[in-house]
Amino acid sequence: MEDKIIESFLNSFPALKEKYEKDIWNYKKPIPPTRKAAIFDFKEEDPPKYEEASFCAKLMTLASIISSLIKEKTASFHELKEIFVYIEAILEQNNGGEIKDNFEICFFETILNSLSHEGAPYIHLFSDVLGPISRKLCKNNDEFWGTSLLK
């Protein structure tokens, strides 16, 4: 289910896909090769293998990309709103459980942390594109950390 959410999101916003595929490597851990019986069994062409990144790591990657769009002003308000309308629909379909928790902790917290260092205008723009479920998750996070970032 989680992989379908990420895949569907990236298919809906193909401009973010290339950056995502590059950045997700930061969260993939290499799997050590199995020991060979003899040095002659090792092949140079054996490609390295990596563990799949967790759903949380995938959301953090997307959050970092979206934070950059906001901070660098490389996306219009309309484009940002489209992204968060899509995220709101995901949250409506999965209102509860691990998916919601991962969005709250891994996605929204990453965005809030990133934007909090940039100042109020960025937080206000972010706040303006949130839907009701997203806003509640962000306010929960805001309350937990004792900050007052959202209007």
Q: What's the CA gap between 125 and 108, in Å, rounded?
A: 14
Instruction: Using the predicted structure, report yes or no on whether residue 35 has a pLDDT greater than 70.
Output: no
- As a residue count, the chain comes to 151
Exposure of 89 in the CB half-sphere (CA atoms within 13 A):
10
Task: Tell me the pLDDT band of 37, cut-offs 50, 70 and 90.
Answer: low
Q: Does residue 85 sit in helix, strand or coil?
A: helix
Instruction: Using the predicted structure, report yes or no on whether residue 117 has a pLDDT greater than 70.
Output: yes
The H or E element that residue 49 is part of is: strand 49-50
Task: Tell me the pLDDT band of 118, cut-offs 50, 70 and 90.
Answer: confident
Task: Tell me the pLDDT band of 150, cut-offs 50, 70 and 90.
Answer: confident
Cα–Cα separations (whole angstroms), residue 140 to 17, 31, 46, 54: 29, 37, 47, 23
> What pLDDT was estimated at residue 50?
81
Contact status, residue 131 vs residue 84, Cβ threshold 8 Å: yes
Q: What is the mean pLDDT of residues 118-135?
A: 90
> What pLDDT was estimated at residue 74?
93
Which amino acid appears at position 42 of this protein? Answer: F
The per-residue pLDDT of the chain, averaged, comes to 87
Q: What's the CA gap between 91 and 84, in Å, rounded?
A: 10
Q: What is the mean pLDDT of residues 120-125?
A: 87
Instruction: Using the predicted structure, report yes or no on whether residue 38 has a pLDDT greater than 70.
Output: no
Instruction: Using the predicted structure, report yes or no on whether residue 65 has a pLDDT greater than 90.
Output: yes
Q: Which residue has the higher pLDDT, 61 or 118?
A: 61
Q: What is the mean pLDDT of residues 79-102?
A: 92
Q: What's the CA gap between 133 and 91, in Å, rounded?
A: 7
Q: What's the CA gap between 130 and 150, in Å, rounded?
A: 11
Which amino acid appears at position 103 of this protein? Answer: F
